[in-house]
Amino acid sequence: MEEVSLHIDQLNYGYGLIDKVYSLRNQLVIVEQDIIGLFNLNYPMIQDLMFLCRHNFPDSCAFLINDLEQQSLIEQGYGLSTNSCRVYTEEGAILIGILINSEKADQISNSIIQIFASLREMSI
């Protein structure tokens, strides 16, 4: 277990990804506010990306959470700043990175893949 922990620390690349991943609906997710911060976006930009590629963003990639799920995030340590909140699965977060198409977005997407894989490995 310690080896996996060290591996995750190395994968963070200064982005603090491990602290941005939560569990909802039996899957790992990243809150939209953190996606915006990771990829250096703003709310209108991410909404535009999702609108332009709405066929690529099924509910399995990004979804609005309900009140119970908001409470679950709070219990997991997340400080929500809005009442309405969208979360992104691994696939959704990677799609955002692909749409941005920059070197930094590629690094973040690769880190997301590795962090999610490491967290799944730890839960086995």
pLDDT of residue 13: 54
Distance of CA 101 to the CA centre of its chain: 17
CA 95 – CA 103 distance, rounded (Å): 14
CB 21 within 8 A of CB 114: no
Q: 2: pLDDT confidence band, cut at 50, 70 and 90?
A: very low
**Number of domains the chain is built from:** 1
For residue 4, pLDDT beyond 50? no
Environment class of 30 (CB within 10 Å of its CB; exposed 0-12, middle 13-18, buried 19+): buried
Segment 21-48 shows an average pLDDT of 92
Segment 3-19 shows an average pLDDT of 60
Domain CATH for 23: 3.10.260
Q: pLDDT tens digits, residue range 57-109? A: 777 889 999 989 999 999 998 887 666 689 999 999 999 999 898 999 999 99
Q: 112: pLDDT confidence band, cut at 50, 70 and 90?
A: very high
Q: What is the pTM of this model?
A: 0.83
Instruction: Write the CA distances from 54 to 69, 76, 84, 94, 96, integer angstroms.
Output: 23, 29, 19, 15, 12
CA 92 – CA 83 distance, rounded (Å): 21
For residue 35, pLDDT beyond 70? yes
Q: Could you give the percent of the chain with pLDDT greater than 70? A: 83
Residue 30 phi, psi dihedral angles, 5° rounding = -125, 135
Token digits for 108? Answer: 């973040």
Q: 3-state DSSP call for residue 90?
A: helix
Q: Domain of 94?
A: 2-123
For residue 78, the 8-state DSSP code is: -
